[in-house]
Amino acid sequence: MVGKSEVDVIVTEDFVIGMPQLALGGLSENWLLKECGNQHWIALAKCLGLPTPDFINQQGQKMYAAFLVVKITQGAFEKVYENSTLTINTQLQRVSSSRSYSHHEIHVEGECCGQVELLSSFVNRTEQGNNQSVARGEVFSGEWSACEASTLMMKAHKAGRMAHAEDAANSHDSLANIKANDKEPLYSYKPCPYSDFNGADFLYFAQFQSVMDRAERHFQMKLTEQKDSRLWRTLERTICYYGNINLDDALLVSLQTQDIDKTTDEIRHHGRMYRLSDHKPIANIATQKAYMEHPLSSFQANHGDAIKKGENQ
């Protein structure tokens, strides 16, 4: 959690939960990331003495607080239900002239149901309209101080970048090699400009989670080594971001099971997301989930063969 200092900023928001905040089985992880991201930007603006998150550098260029690392822990999103009251307590601290760290405690009816940590860095485009031209920058207004949690997140981010460089040097991350390895399947996804990109014209950071869930569902039988349609709920997730994509580019996702605990019905997997245009990795995503009982999956287990038969006709 953020340590107390004169540069901490606190933002608290309450929500009466309805369909926009819910997903199958409880709180929408995608909505939660978007809302925590929004509170991060609002708190950062407050920290810089700005009325809104309109960040400008000394050269007068528009800057964006893009996320380097997103981390979810203690996920218990199944506790959130329609018409319940959800509170997000956000505490933000600037940790350098370019980076900021925020910690978000999520409570439903006073009970903790998750924590989210975000580490951002100011960036801008060096070429207008090109999301592959993003470079880091600085906004010098305000104060900052060291933060242990952000240091650990930055170490994880740098470790991922070093792994990418080592794989590239050894030709391990070429898509041809990955495709030839049955243990590391690929999932392809072409983002929709109307629903996957945000108002800053970037692929929205929260959509990386959404794409990974699609890849997980696509390869579920290979991951779990079971022929079923079981559903899973997120316990923990860490996303490290290394780039973005342009309009009409596509994503390729490799996915590997790290561990399946049959005693607790939990699964851990790790994925890497690539740009199709240049085959460069733009995200690493580590996920831990637990089995979730649900009427939809029970029905599918009993009637799945009939549904598949209809699809083949």
User: pLDDT tens, 156-179?
Assistant: 999 999 988 887 777 655 555 665
> Of 287, 305, 292, nearest to 214 (Cα)?
287
**H/E run at residue 237:** strand 231-241
pLDDT at 6: 45
pLDDT at position 92 over 50:
yes
Query: pLDDT category, 184, cuts 50, 70, 90?
Result: low
Which ranges of 195-294 does DSSP label H, i.e. alpha helix? 205-218, 220-224
Decide if 77 contacts 30 (C-beta within 8 A): no
Q: What is the pTM of this model?
A: 0.91
Percentage of the residues of the chain whose pLDDT score is greater than 70: 88
**Cα separation, 132 vs 183, whole angstroms:** 30
**Which has more confidence, 200 or 183?**
200
Question: Torsions phi, psi of 114, nearest 5?
Answer: 155, 160
Decide if 114 contacts 36 (C-beta within 8 A): no
pLDDT at 164: 85
Q: Can you tell me the mean pLDDT for 277-291?
A: 95
pLDDT at 54: 94
Q: Which residues pair with 71 in a beta bridge?
A: 117, 238
Mean pLDDT, the chain, whole residue set: 89
pLDDT at position 300 over 50:
yes
Q: Can you tell me the mean pLDDT for 96-101?
A: 93
From the DSSP assignment, how many helices (H) and strands (E) are in the chain? Answer: 6, 14
pLDDT at position 309 over 60:
no
CATH superfamily of 9-308: Hotdog Thioesterase (3.10.129.10)
What is the chain's alpha carbon radius of gyration, rounded to the nearest angstrom?
A: 20
pLDDT at 198: 97
**Cα separation, 58 vs 98, whole angstroms:** 13
**Which has more confidence, 185 or 263?**
263
Decide if 53 contacts 46 (C-beta within 8 A): no
Q: Can you tell me the mean pLDDT for 117-137?
A: 95
Neighbour tally for 135: CB within 10 Å: 10
pLDDT at 260: 83
Query: pLDDT category, 243, cuts 50, 70, 90?
Result: very high
Q: Can you tell me the mean pLDDT for 253-278?
A: 89
Q: Can you tell me the mean pLDDT for 40-69?
A: 94
* Phi-psi category of residue 18: left, alpha or beta, with phi > 0 → left and psi -120 to 50 → alpha: beta
Q: What angle do CA 253, 259, 265 make, to 5 degrees?
A: 110
**Cα separation, 165 vs 4, whole angstroms:** 37
**Taking the domains of the chain in order of start, what are their residue ranges?**
9-308
Query: pLDDT category, 312, cuts 50, 70, 90?
Result: low
String of DSSP letters for 53-120 = S-EE-TTS-EEEEEEEEEEEES--GGG--TT-EEEEEEEEEE-SSSEEEEEEEEEETTEEEEEEEEEE
